[in-house]
Structure 1
Amino acid sequence: MAKIKPQALLIQSKKKKGPSRIGLMTIITWNLIIILIVLSLYATYRHWHHRSSNGQGIILPNSEHSESSGESRKFNIPSYAVLVTTKGSITTELFKDASSDVMDKFVELCQKGHFKNSLFHHVIKNFVIQGGDSQKHEAVEDWISKGKAHGQLSVSPKHEAFMLGTTKASRDSKGFDLFITTAPIPDLNDKLIVFGRVIKGEDIVQEIEEVDTDEHYQPKSVVGIVDITLKQDL
């Protein structure tokens, strides 16, 4: 058998171990794939950048309420309001889906101590007790007189006993009247906005309802709100 020279063996070894050439089509294919990936990433970036600049995709406080009612909240509405009165405490649950104007104003006034030492200036048995601002004493008397003039008024299921509300005029004025119903009341949908209900202290409401009043439904003895405390949890 003939011997192969060392130089020939080296040449033969290099031929076997040398890398295979990459075809032109393979290079073109991989370049196209890379270009497509880059374009896809750029398009995704433009999409999310556009959404962010328009304020979409960002979850804001009270966004669920804003979408459902079309109104924006000025304050984060608490769950409860505790009315500390001269007769005892009345705990009310606040309706967070109530009018934004009314709820924001109520919370703001509570935080400023607006209701401290305010009076229940109208008390009408089997109807309402009225506290807060005393600039419009005629409100409840006007409702009563109109009801008597037109005979028996229809009862609204919305206005049940022990509901917390205010007059619609409160949203446009500096004052704020508070009403707590003591029975299902005549239909006052055009007058009253309900924004909460009593969940504890119904006996205190009834005790206030029983105070002696004059012919204008004003209590003969002093009975009022010492303060109102807002709470998220009881």
Structure 2
Amino acid sequence: MARIKPQALLQQSKKKKGPNRISVTTIILCNLIVVLIVFFVFTTYRHWSQRSRLQTESRSSVSKDEDAFVDSKKSDVPGYAVLNTAKGDITVELYKESSPEVVDEFIDLCQKGHFKGMPFNRVIKHFVIQAGDNKKVGAAEDWTLRGKHYNHLDTSSMKHEAFMLGTSKGKRNDRGFELFITTAPIPDLSEKLIVFGRVIKGEEVVQEIEEVDTDENYQPKANIGIIKVSLKQKI
């Protein structure tokens, strides 16, 4: 077997291919791709994160707007009424929370001018003054009997307060919406009336109306009534 010369071995080794080296361009390109992928993932996450936050804020804002609308609607309901009479003004605070339906009906009738010119057709001293369009004696017969009864009682010990505003219970279609203002405590007030307010100013006017001359049926001899009713948000 022939021996290979050292010079030939050197030439053969030069001809053998060495291991492949990764170029700088390839490294830069790979790094750029990685950066783009990371940037895309970060941008996508940020987009959906902001969208979720905006949706949450939007729902919260809508909920607050709805609550504000409800509160605004409640606050729009007048809280007071001023009954202008020939004897002076009677200011009444309306019980919007405890008697909302009756208060709504009362306000609606006020806006339609229902009480304009309405007379006080029953005045029972130490008991009640009543305003309404029903002039039949029988309509107030029970109230008249009660008035005679309570005139002889010590009303200072009775539990219901004076100067409460109410209207008759039951259907009011036949009699219309009558107004009752008590002038003394009445123990069974809730049996007859729906109380929906109280006089906070003008008690002396109520007492002055209470002192007018009446006939045997407690009807005032001189015409006296409500000139108009004004609704107020605040007093």
Give the TM-score normalised by the residue count of structure 1.
Answer: 0.68
Residue of structure 1 in register with 2:97 after alignment: 97
SS in 2 for 1:169: coil
Q: Unpaired segments of 5 or more residues in structure 1?
A: 1-14, 67-72
* Alpha-carbon distance in structure 2 between the residues aligned to 1:95 and 1:47: 38
Residue of structure 2 in register with 1:114 after alignment: 114
Residue of structure 1 in register with 2:46 after alignment: 37
* Alpha-carbon distance in structure 2 between the residues aligned to 1:141 and 1:45: 68
Q: Is the 8 A contact 2:120 2:131 kept in 1?
A: yes
Q: Is the 8 A contact 2:167 2:193 kept in 1?
A: yes
SS in 2 for 1:108: helix
Q: Is the 8 A contact 1:105 1:171 kept in 2?
A: no
Q: Give a deviation string over 1:32-71, Cα, whole Å, max 9, x none.
A: 222222223333455566778xx744336772498xxxxx
SS in 1 for 2:126: coil
Give the TM-score normalised by the residue count of structure 2.
Answer: 0.68
Residue of structure 2 in register with 1:58 after alignment: 65
Matched, 1:76 2:76: yes
Residue range with higher mean Cα deviation, 211-220 or 176-185: 211-220
Q: Give a deviation string over 1:11-35, Cα, whole Å, max 9, x none.
A: xxxx9xxx99746554433322222
Q: CA RMSD in A?
A: 3.7
Structure 1 residue runs of 4+, over 4 Å off? 23-26, 44-52, 135-140, 143-148, 154-157, 170-174
* Alpha-carbon distance in structure 2 between the residues aligned to 1:130 and 1:231: 22
Closer/same/farther in 2, CA of residues 39 and 156 from structure 1, 3 Å limit: farther
Residue of structure 1 in register with 2:204 after alignment: 203
- Pairing 1:145-224 to 2, within 5 Å after superposition: 145=145, 157=159, 159-169=160-170, 175-224=176-225
Closer/same/farther in 2, CA of residues 156 and 191 from structure 1, 3 Å limit: farther
Residue of structure 2 in register with 1:133 after alignment: 133
Q: Unpaired segments of 5 or more residues in structure 2?
A: 1-23
1:131 Cα deviation (Å)? 0.4
SS in 2 for 1:39: helix
1:93 Cα deviation (Å)? 2.1
* Alpha-carbon distance in structure 1 between the residues aligned to 2:47 and 2:59: 18
User: Which structure's CA Rg is the greater one?
Assistant: 2
* Alpha-carbon distance in structure 2 between the residues aligned to 1:138 and 1:37: 80
Matching residue's letter, 1:123: V
Identity rate, percent: 49
Q: Give a deviation string over 1:84-137, Cα, whole Å, max 9, x none.
A: 112222122223324232122211211222111111111112211110332776
* Alpha-carbon distance in structure 1 between the residues aligned to 2:195 and 2:127: 14
1:145 Cα deviation (Å)? 4.5
Q: Give a deviation string over 1:116-166, Cα, whole Å, max 9, x none.
A: 111111111221111033277655532564796xxx8x9874x41111121
